[in-house]
Structure 1
């Protein structure tokens, strides 16, 4: 084909048909440009198709990750709610100087029980590798980024402060001194109930534990809500593909 056009061009030059040659040359340039544009469009379409396939694959993986996180969060909410209830029962008993009875043993036993969310972040780590802009839906991209870079980071920080600074550093050492236990973190009773009634340090730490549990449960519930919203948006995106 190229040889054919070259032959026509050479013939026109020999016959001194400059105007016709000029029109031909312009036409040839237009054809080349159109060919390049068509090739670029085909390449762009192929790249777009590959991007959508990659986006879909990552969204499916993230959907699985979030389902596991959601299950863990709900389990943690239940566990922390039970611990919170035990904290409040024991605080009420001590503040009102009520007698001890065996029904309080499990509540004393789980005063310092704690939870940690084990996040499933493989999809988000893969997404960061390819770039978060791979997610074409602006709202979905914003919510995913906020969950993994704001909510989860704040939860990690709060859990770290509760576990390392408060539970291990203050509350549990105080409990080991004040309580005798048949089974650690399950069943316990005060060594000296009369002394515990007036132990202001113990009461204040117990109140702080109750405050932290309220904060943690509220954060878990907020994350639970955001995960459900992201799951719904992912489902819509997958249906639209």
Structure 2
């Protein structure tokens, strides 16, 4: 093809047809430029297609992580509601003198297992998403997780450094039940690890009442933040799924 064009140019020069030669050369240059532009366009299209497929893979993985977080958080939420119910019952027993049943006293020292994976797997994932709305919702979700993490850390510190220590000092943790594996539940913890009657007596202690107040405040704060995170989690999943269908 190149030799064919060269012959045409040479023929025009030999015939001293300068005007035709210049017009032909200009046309040939334009054809080359059009070819280059088309090649660049095709390359850009291929790169855009690859970027879109990569982003779709990132979004699909994020949805999987969000769903895993949702399952874990819903379990956490159920545990927190049970802990809050125990706190309320202990308040009713200690302050109002009601003869309520303490169904699971071990919850007084129980901590939820909090381990969000979406933010840990890729904390900078929002920068890899092209659609601004999804980026903003991811950032909101991660900010909510930070608030949840802060509240959880405070609750965990109170539980480990004060409540558990206090319970041990008051001898309401049943040594034999732990080592003899009495009443082990599905989570591997004895539901009778804490002495019910001993705990009921502690509800009259001003020091325990103050600890109970702190525990209730922090537990409800974690529950509140967790509900916000779960709502944002679901919103983000639905938004990403809608994007993937387009």
Q: How does 1:49-88 map to 2 (within 5 A)?
A: 49-88=49-88
Q: How does 1:1-241 map to 2 (within 5 A)?
A: 1-96=1-96, 98=97, 103-104=101-102, 106-121=103-118, 125=122, 128=124, 132-148=126-142, 150-163=143-156, 165-182=157-174, 183=177, 186-187=191-192, 188-189=195-196, 191=198, 197=204, 199-240=205-246
Per-residue deviation at 1:133? 4.7
Per-residue deviation at 1:62? 1.7
Cα separation, 1, equivalents of 2:242 and 2:235: 11
Whether the 8 Å CA contact 2:77–2:226 is kept in 1: the answer is yes
Cα separation, 2, equivalents of 1:135 and 1:171: 44
Q: Taking structure 1 as reference, are residues 110 and 124 closer, same or farther at Cα in structure 2, changes over 3 Å only?
A: closer
Cα separation, 2, equivalents of 1:159 and 1:94: 26
Cα separation, 1, equivalents of 2:111 and 2:41: 57
Where 2:172 maps in the other structure, the secondary structure is strand
For normalisation by structure 1, the TM-score amounts to 0.84
Per-residue deviation at 1:192? 8.8
Question: Which whole-Å deviations, capped at 9, do the CAs of 1:142-201 have from their partners, x for residues lacking one?
Answer: 2123323x12233223322321x211111211122235234567332365966752x333
Where 1:116 maps in the other structure, the secondary structure is coil
Cα separation, 2, equivalents of 1:115 and 1:194: 26
For normalisation by structure 2, the TM-score amounts to 0.82
Per-residue deviation at 1:237? 1.5
Unaligned regions of 5+ residues in structure 1, if any? none
Per-residue deviation at 1:60? 1.9
Cα separation, 2, equivalents of 1:47 and 1:83: 53
Kindly report the root-mean-square deviation, in angstroms, between the aligned alpha carbons of the 2 structures: 2.6
